[in-house]
Amino acid sequence: MTIQELSTKYATSPFKVDGYCVPSPHLGAYLHEWERVSRSYNNSKGDFIDVTIAQKDKFNWHYEQISLAELRALDGYIKNRISTGTNSFSVTSWTPDRGYVTKVCYLGAPIQMTPLGKLDETAGIGYLKFEYHWIQIKGYKSLTQG
């Protein structure tokens, strides 16, 4: 299965990577969170100062069950892009406050794969539990730069 075939199969899915439709992640898990970027220092009085300078979206795509063929299509596309020297992807995902949004993200760690039963590597048959973490490259700047 190719990324194009995967996108055609999931054409109604609002979740996308670089415009390709992908299977919707398991919505029971935490899907969105904020990554806080701050600058910390001690002032001349020795007080610890921590100033938030930006917030970034973090999308956690957790799949309770994804087929090995579907995972290979998505993972192969991502690895191919990374091998060309880029770790920048246009990702459409869901947030509780803004609904579906598209952000430029990088693929964070950890990437976890757990086989669910027996996998037939050569035939590409089987299912896995899988997780991706997408982190926005440029965040929202805070009004107070400290």
Locate the domains of the chain by residue range: 3-37+49-141
CA–CA dist 111, 13 (Å, integer): 22
Identify which of 40, 125, 113, 118 has the alpha carbon closest to the alpha carbon of residue 75: 113
Nearest alpha-carbon partner for 134 in 90, 75, 84:
90
Q: Where are the alpha helices (DSSP H) in 39-103?
A: 68-83
* pLDDT given at position 30: 66
Closest CA to 136 of 93, 85, 74, 84: 93
Question: What is the pLDDT tens value at each position of the chain, 146 positions in all?
Answer: 888 999 999 998 999 999 999 988 876 556 787 777 778 889 898 899 888 777 888 888 888 888 888 888 988 999 999 999 888 999 999 887 888 889 999 988 777 788 887 777 666 678 888 888 888 887 666 544 44
Which DSSP letter does residue 134 get?
A: E
Which pLDDT belongs to residue 69? 86
